Structures are given as structure tokens and as C-alpha cells.
Structure 1
Amino acid sequence: MKSKAMSIPLLLFVLIVIQMTMGEAQLCPGYYSTTCPKAESTVREVMRKAMIREIRSIASVMRLQFHDCFVNGCDGSLLLDDTPTMLGEKLALSNINSLRSFEVVDEIKVALEKICPGVVSCADIVIMAARDAVALSGGPDWEVRLGRKDSLYASQEDSDNIMPSPRANATSLIDLFSKFNLSTEDLVALSGSHSIGKGRCFSIVFRLYNQSGSGKPDRAIDPYFREKLDNLCPLGGDGNVTGNLDATPTYFDNRYFKDLVAGRGFLNSDETLYTNEETRKWVVKFSEDQAAFFDAFVKGMVKMGDLQSGRPGEVRKNCRVVNGPKKRVSVPWLAL
């Protein structure tokens, strides 16, 4: 006769499934309203101070959401440092020498640990900080859905296999975004994150001097703008020199789209949104209607923020490392 008690392996499996299901279902506005009421205001205050200290850091922090969420969901895996047994995502091809301002996330975590230790996840910090970066730069403000757990590992290989390069064209970007149930409108609107910040010469030197192996510059670049970029990024020059992603790099607005229409997109992956027929209509729409851009951008950020892996996680004490092993606790009923 079979025992009525649930076997331990089956019980553990059920518990894991319940945890994963709950982890996805918990995302909601005001998640920390009772457990850490000052969580969102604390994040915004640290972001405000970071902006005063170095305005570029705001744009850098905002872009962490995209680089985190597209690789196994919004789980803070991007923030993990390498270990002897794990190659993380920070040195992945699309991230190395590009992503920065991780120290701002560290500052936010320290501030939150002081007021409510062990409560707010690093994954949620990325989501809140990205929203605040936009709002503090003059862009839209919105209510974020929170309740994520932090990943227990990171994968450089996964990041290399997923994240696009600055050379990406609109067709490949459309395909990539569609895999995450993000539309062409979402793609173009979220590309508007380049309304603030800077890009490196390394990312554009090919389109200035050897677009598609032609030995010539990208014909889509406005000649006067190309001359400006040639002076900024001479062939054989320092690839780490930076240029503005649009004409108003510290203010979140629709100038980015106006620049694309005029042939003044900095990155190839930006300008291709205007030269491609499928994405062009959205570029034109957003260049003419800033309110429409803001609305689409917010919707895209919320949809991207909902991407989840469904894997078990934790709330890290330090965003750069997973928590140490917990002491084993005896649970008498598991022995029944």
C-alpha cells in the first residue's frame, strides 16, 4: 500500500514550481509599500545625487535595464562580478568598455540596506533607477511593477548570444525584439533611450570609413554631420572617445528621432531605424509627436520589465555577488 504522505522529491518539486509561479505573479506597483515604504523615494534621491555628480551616469544606469532584461529576464544577473567559476555578463561583447555606472547601483543598494535590510532586490533597483533616470532628465514618469528576485548566476555566453551590436540593422533588431514579444513600435520607442547619453567612437568608426566593407562611409549620414564625426573619430584614433547620441544628450526628448530623420544618427543601429521601411513610420511619428513617443516608451519599458526567467532567486545583500550559503535548518515535517 502506498503511503499517503507526499514523497520528498515530489514535495520539493511542487515547492519549486510554486515559488517560480509566485515569483512571476508578484510583479505589481507598490510592492514595497509595507515592507520598505521609502524604497522608491530612496532610489530616486540617490539617482538625483548621481546626476548632480556626473550627469552622464543617469543615461548609463538607464541602459542597464535593457542589457539585464534581455538576458534571461530582469533578474539583476548583469550586476554580478566574475568569479573563479563563473564568467558574468559585464565583459560580454556588447557590454565591455560600454556599460558603466555600476557604482550608482551599489550606492542605491547600500542606502536601501540601511533602511530595510534584505528586502529590495537588485533586479528591482535596476527597474526603478531606469525609470528615475528618464524622469530626472525631463522625460515621462510612470508606475513600475516590482517584486523580482535576483539571479543566482550570470552567463557571458548568453549575453554574447543575445545582445545586438552597434552594427545591427533594423531587420535583425526587429527579429530580436519579436522573440521577446516586443513589437516594431516597442523597438523604435525603446531605441529612444538614446535620447540621453554618449556613444564611443569604437562603435561607429566602421560606418565612417568602411560601411559594409565598401571602404566608404555610410551614405545615410548627413555630410556635415559626417565631417563632425570624422573630426571626433579619426581613422586609427582613440576608440574610447565619446560623442553625443543626439543633439540634446542630457535632456530626454524626441530630438533623437528628429536627428535620425535628418541623417544625424550616431550609431548604425540608430540610423537604420529611419532607412528601414518598416521602422521608418515610427521614427517619423515620434519625431513629430513627442507625447506619442513618451507614451510608447513607457509601455515598452513596462513590457520589457516584465520579462522573467521563472528561475528561483534571492534578494542579494550586495548586487555584485550572490549571498553566502545559508545555515541548514531542520524541518521535522519533511522527515514524515
Structure 2
Amino acid sequence: MLLHSAILFTLAARAVAGASGSSNTSPSSPSTTSSASNSSSSGSSSTGSPSSTDCSTWSKVASDLSSTFQGCGPAARGAIRAPFHDCINNGCDGSLILGSECSRSENAGLPPTCTLLAAKAKQYNVGTADMIQFAAAVAIAVCPLGPRVRALVGRTDSSTPAAEGLVPSTKDPIAQILRQFAAVGMSAADVVALVGSHTVATQSFDDPSQAGKALDSTPSRWDVKFYSETKAGTAPYSFSSDRRMTNDSSTEGSWDRFARSQHAWAVAFTSAWDRFVVVGNDVGKLKDCSSSLPGSSKRRAEGMGSPMGDGAFH
């Protein structure tokens, strides 16, 4: 979903047709292959350093970024938004930063995040693709009520930029948005769950005349007010795509369910996120450093122990 400035990700993303490379496999279901491929697995690419799979290193990263993201403000919002822009085209390969995609208009508002994460990847000698995903996991955990998503590391970095124009706008038809996410293995319920990350979002580029407006009344809390306020028309600002999802036949049921239950949304969001942020990667080759995340000693997000992709969405 196309994110504008500190807003999370605006829905949708065109999967690159005919992409080739390693398959995306669910961590809990190694034999399951996603429909998305990593087209950057050949050509100009580089692999993150061995330290990128050292969980003690990632614990230091988590401690560092937790301070940066305290308050669930602009820095956290940018970090949560970044994976959508990195993963939706060529897969989660770090090309958002390494391929200079961050300077494109479709990624407006992300340059400060890209600069921060590039510097952190260099500072800790870890992969850029991993840093993008791990930073988002930290930001989600730091935001009040945020779930603990899975933090897998060991992705292959690529400096090959994805084709431009693959991140659509908030004006796209809902059917098109759902088709685009279906191409990377996301169901309609998954998309509704992921779009809930707008609960900690603000917008700057969807309507510049209203720059800075939040998408719900509590932009520093990971709560379900986004769903109820968007549907009621009481949110400070709403994207057209979000408003239309509230009453589209494919998405309305999930929207209403999440509006009623923080627990239901947490389960659905965690499952969808965990599958989305490994698009284009061989999950069997990744290492789980979730224990490095803030609050990892507590019970993780509802449903975290369930197999990814099970019936949590229906």
C-alpha cells in the first residue's frame, strides 16, 4: 500500500510479473511456497555479512532503535512503513535503500528513514534488507499495544532497483489492490489486517493541504480506533482506499471484525506481517532472532505460536 510520508503503507503493490529467484516459504510451513519471487536473486546483488545472523548483534540494534522509536512518533512510523515499499516489488531485498528507490516520488517521505536505517546497517555490520524488517519489528513492539511480530534475519541484499511505478496510489480500486496483494500470497483479510497499521500513521502527501493529520485520533497507540473511526467518518483524515475498504464486499467483514476486537486484529496482523516480510526469500535459510525484540520475554502477540497462514483470519 502506498504510504505517504509518515503514513504507513497505502495498499497494494504490483507484484513483478515473471520475476525469478528463490521462493518465499512460511517459517512454520517450510514446504509452502508463496506466489512471489525475488527477481533480484540474480544479477547485481550482495549478501549481508555473517554478523547479520548473530542474534547478540540484533539485541544491540534493538536496544539502540528502541530509544529512537520511543513515543511511537515519526521515526517509528517511517520504520513501519519502509518494509511495504521494499518488499512489494522485488521482494524484501533492501533495494529500497541499496537501489536508491527511496528517492522516488512513490516513496515520498521515506528518505529520512532510509538514511537512518542505512547508517544503522553500516554501524552494526548487518544486512540492509534485514535492518529494514527488524527496525519495523522494533517500532511495532515499542508502540503502545503493538504486537511482537517475528524477526527473521539472513536475507540477501540487492542493489538492483525494482522497476519504478509499482507502488500504487490510494485512489486505486479495491479489487486491484487485492489482486496485487494476492500475487504475493496475501488474502483480502490479510490486506485489511495490514492496513490497520495506519492506526499509528499521519499523512503528508495524499493531500498536502492537510499535511500532518493523523489517520485516527490516537496516532501514538496501536489500537483499533483506526477501523471504527475510518468507517464512521470521524478520523482526522482518511485515505480514499481505506474509506472504500470499509464497505467493499470483499473487505467489510474483516474490517468490522477488527474494529470490534484488538485481539482479533493482533492475531491477523501478526500472521500477515510475518508472511509478508519474507517475500522473495527462502525462509528455511533465515534465522529467528525474535528474542532480541523489546518485550520478547513476555507472551508474544496473540496467536504467535500458531502456524502462519492457518485459519486465524476467518
Structure 1 residue 102 and structure 2 residue 120: aligned?
Answer: no
CA distance in 1, matches of 2:134, 2:58: 7
Residues 98, 129 of structure 1: alpha-carbon distance in 2 compared, 3 angstrom cutoff: closer
Shift of 1:197: 2.4
Does residue 273 of the first structure (1) align with residue 273 of the second (2)? no
Q: Could you say which residue in structure 2 is the equivalent of 1:175?
A: 179
Alignment counterpart, residue 149 of structure 2, candidates 142, 145, 152: 142
What letter corresponds to residue 148 of structure 1 in structure 2? R
Contact in 2 for aligned 1:260/1:283 (Cα 8 Å)? no
Deviation at 1:75, TM superposition (A): 0.1
Q: Measure the CA separation in 2 of the matches of 1:147 and 1:63.
A: 21
Give distance in 1, aligned partners of 2:263 and 2:111: 29
How far apart are the structure 1 equivalents of 2:247 and 2:281?
34
Quote the offset at 1:46 in angstroms.
2.2
- More RCO (CA 8 Å, sep 6+): 2
Distance of 1:66 and 1:194 partners within structure 2: 12
The answer to whether the Cα contact below 8 Å between 2:97 and 2:118 also exists between their aligned partners in 1 is no
**Within 1, Cα distance between the matches of 2:244 and 2:256?**
13
- The DSSP-based 3-state class of the residue aligned with 1:63 is helix
Question: Which amino acid letter does the alignment assign opposite residue 216 of structure 2?
Answer: D
CA distance in 1: counterparts of 2:79 and 2:122, whole angstroms: 16
Aligned twin of 1:63: 81
1:195 equivalent among 199, 208, 213: 199
Amino acid at match of 2:121: K
Which structure has greater strand proportion? 2
Q: Give the Cα separation in 1 of the matches to 2:136 and 2:91.
A: 15
> Structure 1 residues 38 and 164 mapped into 2: Cα distance closer, same or farther (>3 Å)?
same
The counterpart of 1:90, out of the listed 85, 102, 122, is 102
What is aligned with 2:17? none
What residue number does 2:189 align with? 185
Deviant stretches of 4+, over 4 Å: 23-28, 32-35
Question: CA offset at residue 193 of structure 1?
Answer: 1.3
* TM-score normalized with structure 2 length: 0.68
Q: Which residue of structure 2 aligns with residue 112 of structure 1? A: 124
Structure 2 matches for 1:1-336, cutoff 5 A?
36-52=54-70, 55-80=73-98, 88-97=100-109, 100-113=112-125, 120-138=126-144, 139-155=146-162, 158-160=163-165, 162-200=166-204, 202-204=205-207, 233=210, 241-263=211-233, 264=235, 266-308=238-280
Paired residue total: 239
Deviations 1:1-43 (A, max 9, x none): xxxxxxxxxxxxxxxxxxx65x967979xxx899523233222
**Worse overlay, 243-252 or 282-291:** 243-252
Counterpart of 2:224, as a letter, is N
> Aligned partners of 1:260 and 1:107: how far apart in 2?
36
Pick the structure with more helix per residue.
Answer: 1
Q: Is the 8 A contact 2:94 2:159 kept in 1?
A: no
Instruction: Give the distance between the partners of 1:267 and 1:99, measured in 2 at CA.
Output: 22
Change (3 A) 1:26 1:248: closer
Call closer, same or farther: CA 1:98–1:271 in 2, change over 3 Å.
Answer: farther
Structure 2 counterpart of 1:105, which letter? L
Structure 1 residues 35, 257: CA separation in 2 closer, same or farther (over 3 Å shift)?
A: closer
Q: Distance in 1 between matches of 2:52 and 2:159?
A: 26
Structure 1 residues 25 and 181: alpha-carbon distance in aligned structure 2, compared to 1, 3 A threshold: closer
CA deviation string 1:68-92 (max 9, x = no partner) = 00110000000126xxxxxx42233
- The answer to whether the 8 Å contact 2:149/2:273 transfers is no
Alpha-carbon spacing, 1:203–1:257, altered in 2? closer, same or farther (3 Å): same
Q: Does the CA contact (< 8 Å) of 1:42 and 1:111 recur in 2?
A: no
Mapped to 2, the partners of 1:262 and 1:269 lie a distance apart of: 15
| Partners of 2:52 and 2:138 in 1: CA distance | 21
Residue by residue, what CA displacement relative to the aligned partner does 1:112-157 show, whole Å, maximum 9, x if unpaired? 13xxxxxx211111111111111100210033222201003213xx
Quote the sequence identity (%).
25
Alpha-carbon distance in 2 for matches of 1:111, 1:131:
19
Change (3 A) 1:309 1:164: farther
Q: What's the secondary structure of 2:54's corresponding residue?
A: coil
Aligned residue for 1:90, secondary structure, equals: helix
* Aligned counterparts of 1:152 and 1:35: Cα–Cα separation in 2: 20
Residue type of the alignment partner of 1:89: E
Other structure's SS at 2:150 match: coil
Provide the residue aligned with 1:330 in structure 2: none
